[in-house]
Amino acid sequence: MERIETQSTSRNTATTSDIVLREGPQTRLLFRPEIVNNASRPEAAVRGRFLYQRKKRNGEWIEFDRLPLTSVKVDEGYQLEISSSELHTLGTNLRKLYLLSKSHGVPQGRKSFLEVDGVLADLLALAGPELQEFFTSNSEDAIRLFRLLLTWICKRPSIEVFEGVSELLELNAVVGLANLNAFLKEWKANSNVSKEEFWQTLFAKNAVVLSQLFAYPVILIKDKAYLGGKGLMNTGGHIVDFLCKLESTGAAALVEIKTPITPLLGSVYRGVYPISNDLAGTISQALKYRSSLMENLQNLQREDPALIASEPYCVVVAGDCAELNSSEKKASFERFRERLNGVRILTFDEVYQRIEGLLKIFTDSSGVSPQVLDSVE
């Protein structure tokens, strides 16, 4: 593959890479083309000049002194003979410049164009439906190509890769969906992990998921947020897993994350199942954090003046509904949950189903296949 470098010299002109026609140890002949905006004849978009150069001792090529045509005497003249091979080289390269001009006009700034082989050129020339059909019939190659393109895009120094904002938004949407997909895959692979730290870290890495715990969009302010509560001995501070605020009003929201294997219910008592000690302790902890937040609101507002905490929202994520394997257990859990004031309880499988449903809605509406999401690492 050959590369063509261009550098605009004005809105209507751009220099390009020299075309070397003949080269010896000490001298060479080249054609220096220039892409121009020819308003009267748009197809004639290339001009240029022939140059003889000689090599200095340090290897640098410099041009011979020019002789003006006015110095030519009677019966004198200049003759430039070009061999058939050299003429073929010139014609081949000029043809590429005409094609480049036809597709890109006069390139602005410094640009680099890479000539592709016939197969890739045919692929790039395909229209939308044809390209989709090609990728459908060659799904493995399409996914591999998509991965390579994403890697390349991530290494670009600016967003000039995209022709418009809509293309960038589309890419952001795909990457966002891929992140949700990866989040669910990691969740599923570790569903039996009993360490709270693992689940708190997983949610912290995917803060957008926290919005699915509420009926309103929320913004993560801080994970492992200190809410006050230390005594004179500098102990007993209250650290909530996540301190958030509603995006619309700034109302504070607290989130406590336990594990999927946290028990929801205790032993049956006269046909009724009370909540487990673990869940009761977590609820009490969340209510204590809420009180601490309200008491120390002024200190927190120094870091976030928009934060308000008249009645902070509290959410506890714990356990799994698979534990509720009888109608009595389900009824006992729902009676307690629906009548609990100040704290909302969600199980891990309920949160998982929300994210999974959200992902399905977006992938179905965008037409992005699960294979493409899996390919984005």
Q: Which candidate, 254, 286, 284, 253, places its Cα nearest to that of 275?
A: 284
In a domain, 123, yes or no: no
**What number of CA atoms fall less than 13 Å from residue 64's CA on the CB side?**
13
Residues 221 and 314 in one domain: yes
- Residue 362 has which token pair? 């977006």
Share of the chain above pLDDT 70, in %: 73
* Whole-structure pTM value: 0.53
Last residue of a domain, one of 50, 84, 114: 114
Q: Total structural domains in the chain?
A: 2
Alpha carbon distance 43, 153 (integer Å): 33
**What pLDDT does 299 receive?**
74
**Position 164 confidence tier, pLDDT thresholds 50, 70, 90:** very low
- pLDDT in the model for residue 126: 57
What one-character DSSP code corresponds to residue 97?
H
Domain that holds residue 41: 3-114
Q: Which of 114, 138, 173 is the last residue of a domain?
A: 114
100 with 198, same domain: the answer is no
The pLDDT tens digits for 174-228 are: 666 777 888 888 999 998 999 999 999 898 888 778 877 877 677 787 777 766 6
Does residue 154 sit within a domain?
no
How high is the mean pLDDT of the chain?
79
Residue 331's pLDDT is what? 93
Residue 256 confidence class, pLDDT cut points 50, 70, 90: very high
Task: Point out the least confidently predicted range of 58-62, 147-151, 283-287, 338-342.
Answer: 147-151
Q: Which helix (H) or strand (E) holds 144?
A: helix 139-154
Residue 78 lies in a domain: yes
Q: Is residue 187 part of a domain?
A: no
Residue 219 and residue 326 in one domain: yes
Angstrom distances, CA of residue 35 to CA of 40, 257, 368? 15, 63, 40
> Are 213 and 76 in a shared domain?
no
> Is 123 within 8 Å of 13 (Cβ atoms)?
no
CA pair distance 94, 121, nearest whole angstrom: 18
Digit-coded pLDDT (tens) for 27-68: 999 999 999 999 999 999 999 999 888 888 888 888 876 666
Mean pLDDT (whole number) for 285-306: 80
Domain co-membership, 201 together with 328: yes
What is the per-residue pLDDT for 162? 47
Domain shared by 328 and 213, yes or no = yes
- Which segment of 220-224, 268-272, 278-282 scores lowest on mean pLDDT? 220-224
Tell me: pLDDT of 311 over 60.
yes
Q: What is the pLDDT of residue 161?
A: 47
The residue that leads in pLDDT, 241 or 143, is 241
106 within some domain: yes
Q: Which residue has the higher pLDDT, 205 or 267?
A: 267
Instruction: Say which range, 154-168, 205-219, 258-272, has the weakest mean pLDDT.
Output: 154-168
Whole-number pLDDT of residue 131 = 64
**Residue 347: its H or E element:** none
Candidate from 13-17, 121-125, 189-193 with smallest mean pLDDT: 121-125
Kindly state whether residue 167 falls inside one of the protein's structural domains.
Answer: no
d(Cα 367, Cα 373) in Å, to the nearest integer? Answer: 11
The mean per-residue pLDDT over the stretch 315-335 comes to: 94
| Mean pLDDT of the 302-322 span | 84
Q: d(Cα 127, Cα 135) in Å, to the nearest integer?
A: 12
Q: Are residues 210 and 103 in the same domain?
A: no
Instruction: Give all strands of the β-sheet with 308-317 in edge-to-edge order.
Output: 218-226, 239-246, 251-257, 308-317, 344-346
Same domain, 108 and 203: no
- Domain co-membership, 206 together with 324: yes
For residues 199 and 338, state if they share a domain. Answer: yes
pLDDT in tens, 349-376: 999 998 888 888 777 765 555 555 555 4
Interval 13-23 mean pLDDT: 92
Is 172 contained in some domain? no
Spatial contact of 347 and 319, defined as CB atoms under 8 Å apart: yes
39 found inside a domain: yes
The last residue of one of the domains, among 114, 133, 157, is: 114
Tokens of 105: 């006009």
In whole angstroms, what is the distance from residue 305 CA to residue 244 CA? Answer: 13
